[in-house]
Amino acid sequence: MIERGGSPRPIEDFITNDDNGINWIKIGDTKGVVKYIHHTKEKIKPEGAIRSRMVFEDDFLLSNSMSFGKPFIMKTKGCIHDGWLVIRKNTLIDNNYLYYILSSSLVYQQFTNLAKGSTVKNLNIEAVKQVVIQFPPLAEQLSIVSKIEELLSDLENGKQQLLTAQQQLKIYRQSLLKWAFEGKLTNKNVKDDELPKGWKWVKLIEITSVLGDGLHGTPNYSEDGDYYFINGNNLTDGRIEIKENTKRVDFSEYEKYKKPLNESTIFVSINGSIGYTAFYNNEKVILGKSACYFNVLKSTDKKYLRYCLLSQRFLNYANKNATGSTIKNVGLKTMRDFEIPFPSFSEQQLIVDELESKLTFCDKIEETISQSLLQAESLRQSILKKAFEGKLVNF
């Protein structure tokens, strides 16, 4: 039996913290969940259950919108909203068999063909009923599941090793940045907590000719405008990224709000997501308040300064001094007062060369890991495909 969830409305009136509340199962509760749903973040009042759908342990849930067709097995009970379909426990079908076959590309392709909607796909009960699935006798289902889990266990172990390596690579990148600005990439025998000889501490304001932020307000947008209104979320890995939803303005708005940007300009996001950076490369842009800009003096290598702003030391400083509880904001005074370990210009360039050489090597390893993770997912689908084509277990 397949049933659809339901939501009491307005849902805010039914959310409760009472002990007698009923688990309210949301799509968000599956974040990081692979197979089983054990817990929910919210509960609803018992009277809300009348307008919803109760599900129980070993019932099978299937998301029917957004990331549609994603299967989960219940290990608790509660109510589901209309973003879920529930397939009730059937003694003739092993839940693990159902989970794996619904996770396979063989079934997902059927879901894709049957789902309604051009932009956002949605499944309904009638569409799911049309999906063709082979169900051998229960004993064979259990044998197939056993073989699948044996192979997937080995695959998962390999995947976890790749994810561990990926995490270690992130740590190593930050270690490189730390060593770079302690002088340890270019100087031997540097003592901890001491700058190398010839280095000094300078504040950001001391090595910039101008430092400010963008427009505190909203410009007049123009669909045909030639200039983009960018914010911190447009700063990506050293460059300005123009997105589909980036608004445009015309020349008159640009003239009103333009900043003195040039080839020495660096942008940093200072509101919300902090610490994203980009160089200015003559893009046609005006700046919003969630990013600050500064032009570095000739005594400073702009790449050296950007790498310094990518370091954990800057991120710790910015977050510590940011205001706001929900949305963090780093003030311009905080930016101006940030202290930077400052060697000679030639040593800055040497540090940049050393960093980029090592970071390029890290990028290659990262690419290899990412490709291996994709191959792991392809192998997982290959295992499931063979299983449900009868090629994994002989009977």
Determine how β-strand 227-230 pairs with β-strand 248-249.
antiparallel
> For residue 238, which phi and psi values (nearest 5 degrees)?
90, 0
Specify the fold of 2-135: Adenine-n6-DNA-methyltransferase TaqI; Chain A, domain 2 (3.90.220)
User: Do the first three CATH levels of 2-135 and 200-342 match, i.e. the same topology?
Assistant: yes
Summarize pLDDT for 323-340 with one digit per residue, the tens. Answer: 987 889 999 999 999 999
Distances (CA, A) of 152 to 140, 191, 316, 387: 18, 48, 40, 12
Which of residues 131 and 145 earns the better pLDDT score? 145
Question: Whole-model pTM?
Answer: 0.73
Region 196-209: what's the mean pLDDT? 95
In three-state form (DSSP H/G/I as H, E/B as E, the rest C), the secondary structure along 183-231 is CCCCCCCCCCCCCCCCCEEEEHHHHEEEEEECECCCCCCCCCCCEEEEC
Q: What is the pLDDT of residues 205-217, one digit of tens each?
A: 999 999 999 999 9
CATH superfamily label, 200-342: DNA methylase specificity domains (3.90.220.20)
Measured CA to CA in angstroms, residue 209 lies from 90, 98, 236 at distances of 72, 65, 24
Calpha distance 288→235 (Å, rounded): 12
Band (395; pLDDT cuts 50, 70, 90): low
What angle, 0 to 180 degrees and rounded to 10, lies between the N-to-C axes of helices 138-180 and 312-321? 90
Stretch (H or E) spanning 268: strand 265-269
Question: Quick one: which of 148, 146, 168 has its CA closest to 156?
Answer: 148
Q: Is the pLDDT of residue 118 over 80?
A: no
Query: Contact at 8 Å (CB) between 155 and 380?
Result: yes
Measured between alpha carbons, how far is residue 211 from residues 235, 283, 290, 291 in Å?
17, 19, 14, 11
Q: Residue 21 above 90 pLDDT? A: yes
Query: Looking at the predicted structure, is the pLDDT value of residue 135 above 90?
Result: no
Domain boundaries, the chain: 2-135, 200-342
Q: What HEC string does 238-256 produce? A: EEECCCCCCCEECHHHHHH
DSSP label at residue 78: E
